[in-house]
A and B are shown apart, each in its own frame.
Chain A
Amino acid sequence: MAVKIHFDGRTVAVDNGSGRSILELARTAGWHIEAQCGGRGSCASCNVMLGPGRYRVFDEEIEVQPEQRLEVLSCQAQVLGDEAEVFLPRASVISFEGARIADEMEIPEHAFDPRSKRGFGLAVDVGTTTVVAALVDLGTGEVVARESLYNQQILKADDVVSRISLCNTEGQLEQLQELVVGHTLNPLIHKLCAGTGASGCDIVHVVLSGNTVMMHIFFGVSPAPIGVIPFKPASRTFEATAGELRIDIRPDAPVEAVPAISGYVGGDITSDLHVSKPWNMDGLVALIDIGTNGEMVACHGGRMHACATAAGPAFEGAGLLHGTRAASRAIDSVQYDENLDFELGVIGDPTPMGLCGSAIIDFIAEGFRCGLINAYGRYDLDMLKRNGRYERVCGMHACMLVAPELSATGESITVTEGDIAEVLKAKAAIYGGLKSLLAELGKGVRELDHVVLAGGFAKHINLENAICIGLLPDIRIEKYKVIGNGSLAGAALALLDRSTGPAYLELIDRLQIVTLNKTAHFINHFQEALAIPNLETDDFPSVAGR
């Protein structure tokens, strides 16, 4: 008398399943199902197959017969009765294994002047997807260990706005806070201590850096005002003690956040700026974080403008039919020519299950170069068919990259035209946002002297390919600087040098926030950037026109 849940050749029986959603039951069984929309039933990331049993699906009672299988959204399906059988497809289960996480950081030269030279400090980058923590010896100033984990809030919802929506429901804010503190940071602290022989009691100071919504939730403050116009945060600065937040270290240790610039340009960007100091570089400089929120800052002659461009999660592989996070079994690079012999790079286990963001950029760029993909993101169907790569998936034309027998899912791995369209929207938001931001300073994109790329994703992309698809400006590669996890470095700096905190407070007021939809040209720039590389081909002289 139990609900049997099958995954990856294993079966776990969960008792008292009646009335609970399959999403919850799978979690109880130890498997975390993707819920990109926050379990609202508006995406399809949590698909599962129902076996024999009685269920309620979208308010309708359904009985599945033995031998039958029914594909449903696990967040909208409840088990009725005591017995049922559910099969989890690989694509719906979040794998924590082999996740490619940006924990590399470069801490620039600094004064060594911590608040106390005894014990350890903890620097934490609280990302929407990943949390990275670094243990710093305050006596020597050395980073002695680093650990990372997915932010366990992803079990509830993927992007920041979905998490804000959740907080509008009684009790959810507290649950999200518990997920990031109790289920993410505390386990990280235990690992750091176990690895170094330190004890939680030796940690005397914590600095967190992350986007504004993450900081609100971490400190238990509702982020609701950031969800609607005028997107104002409840606060830009946060402070508490470890005891108040139930962090497993000395209860009186101060915990502070790197201050945010605005509701959508957070403390992580404050950190990136402080670490890379674009105001010390010559000429026109842009700092870009290529991610779901697409934050960017333009800096020229002492003036700084910032905006968020809302690219969406396509670069994290979300929203693509066979997209996946950059973890074990993800295809992370692709090379080919008009013969469509795909040369694939795969993370960890060589049997792939899907493509992550860096691979989809490669795929589109190479396809554009060899004529497989035209400027509007559509396939040359003859070329696909000629090379035995054509498939029709979900009613869409698709290119088969990996045959069923070679993939981990038992299904072929494909890229549909719909997937390409998603990526084009995301890259158009970033490029269109950058062009509009620079226009506010009276500058053009090709006038950029330096581009600083922050965030984990930028470390893994092929810059030539990113330029080829029109995601990044067509300037010489040498003008790009990839800084890795500037957010973590910024938090570490605040531990190491006590003058950093005041510098942050001064910095956040130096930026002027640009509301993109109020700029004269954003929509136009966005629409131009929907083509590969751009309808304004003058912007991309080095990308051979087709």
Chain B
Amino acid sequence: MARNEALFEAVLKGKRKDVAALVQTAIDEGTNLESILMDSMVPAMAEIGDRFSRNEAYVPEMLIAARAMQAGLDLLDPLLQAAGHKAIGKVAIGTVKGDLHDIGKNLVAMMLKGAGFEVLDLGVDCDVEKYRDAVEKGAQAILLSALLTTTMPYMKTVVEGLKGSSAKILIGGAPVTQAYADEIGADGYSDDANTAVKATKVALGIAA
């Protein structure tokens, strides 16, 4: 189905009220739910993400767009769930123990959802147990976020705690680096929400 240009633009420009109104209209008109999401909204977030990678957009713009996207998702999510939307993979994401920052984590979760993943959001202050539970619930990849230099070392504890499980572990957050990911033996790292999706696909061997 064709892209709803008005909706695409509204997400891109971060116009939250417009997004909600346009999504509601599309739902009322009986537009295919997946098409609303996949043909207009997700491409808008992907566009922002690409601009971000090219240094043509920055975190503020990305968060403003994400906020608008969320307004649309809030309307669509329950309907999609009821309709049994099929996912390309199941992943879990959570901020590590001791840390409460979740804005970046939520952005990554949203991009993953947009890319077609089923995402278990574990929230903040997650201990090893929480991540292990998620693996037991079928998560193929576990994503860890940390924004504090004091909580980042807990990522190592999680990697060690999940040794032997089949799930891949990806890490991210402002103080985290590729070097640190290598050091603790994580399966993937990225420094922004857009490449986080790519890194997750690579780790799980899903074609981009």
Contact = CB atoms under 8 A, between A and B. Distances in A.
A424 B60 contact: yes
Interface stretch (A97-105, A114-122, A459-467, A522-530): A522-530
B175 A42 contact: yes
A161 B148 contact: yes
B179 interface: yes
Nearest to A423: B60
Interface stretch (B31-39, B98-106, B128-136): B98-106
Contacts of A531: 60, 64
Interface string B82-115: 0000000000000001111111000000000000
A321 to B, nearest CB: 12
B55 A395 contact: yes
Given A38-B149, A530-B60, A531-B64, A523 B103 contact: yes
Contacts of B175: 37, 40, 42
Q: Which of A228, A378, A523 has the most CB of B within 10 A?
A: A228
Contacts, number: 80
B100 A377 contact: no
Given A41-B179, A165-B149, A530 B99 contact: no
A376 B61 contact: yes
A96 interface: no
Nearest to B66: A527
Contacts of A523: 103
Interface string A155-167: 0000001101100
Interface string A509-523: 000000101000001
A228 B102 CA distance: 15
B177 interface: yes
A165 B58 contact: no
B125 interface: yes
Given A162-B149, A165-B150, A396-B55, A376 B100 contact: no
Given A396-B55, A418-B55, A227 B64 contact: no
Interface string B33-63: 0000000000000000000001100111101
B158 to A, nearest CB: 15
Contacts of A224: 150
B78 to A, nearest CB: 21
Nearest to B63: A527
Given A37-B175, A229-B125, A526 B103 contact: yes
Given A228-B151, A229-B99, A418-B58, A376 B64 contact: yes
A162 B67 CA distance: 30
Contact of B100 (A395, A396, A421, A517): A517
Q: How large is the interface on B (under 10, 10 to 19, 20 to 34, 35 or more residues)?
A: 20 to 34
Nearest to A524: B67
Contacts of B180: 42
A128 B67 CA distance: 34
A417 interface: yes
B150 A417 contact: no
B60 A161 contact: no
Q: Which of A37, A40, A396, A530 has the most CB of B within 10 A?
A: A530
A212 to B, nearest CB: 14
A530 B64 contact: yes
Contacts of A164: 149-150
A425 interface: yes
A285 to B, nearest CB: 28
A417 B64 contact: no
A539 to B, nearest CB: 15
Interface residues of A, number: 37
Interface string B158-197: 0000000000000000011101100000000000000000
Contacts of B67: 524, 527
A134 interface: no
A41 B175 CA distance: 10
Contact of B177 (A42, A377, A515): A42
Nearest to A394: B55
Interface string A30-73: 00000001101110000000000000001000000000000000
Contacts of B150: 161, 164-165, 168, 224, 227-228
A266 to B, nearest CB: 17
Given A42-B177, A418-B55, A526-B103, A227 B60 contact: no
A50 B83 CA distance: 61
Contacts of A507: none
A425 B59 contact: yes
Contacts of B125: 229
B19 to A, nearest CB: 13
A58 to B, nearest CB: 6
A384 interface: no
Given A41-B179, A418-B55, A531-B64, A517 B151 contact: no
Contacts of A515: 100
A526 B106 CA distance: 14
A14 interface: no
Given A228-B150, A229-B125, A421-B59, 11 more contacts: A40-B175, A42-B175, A42-B177, A42-B180, A162-B149, A168-B150, A227-B148, A229-B98, A376-B64, A395-B54, A397-B55
13 contacts: A41-B179, A164-B149, A164-B150, A227-B98, A227-B151, A228-B99, A376-B64, A377-B60, A395-B54, A417-B55, A420-B58, A517-B101, A535-B14
Interface of B: 14, 54-55, 58-61, 63-64, 67, 97-103, 124-125, 148-151, 153, 175-177, 179-180
The 6 closest A-B pairs by CB, nearest first: A228-B98, A227-B150, A421-B58, A530-B60, A165-B149, A424-B60
Interface of A: 37-38, 40-42, 58, 161-162, 164-165, 168, 224, 227-229, 376-378, 395-397, 417-418, 420-421, 424-425, 428, 515, 517, 523-524, 526-527, 530-531, 535
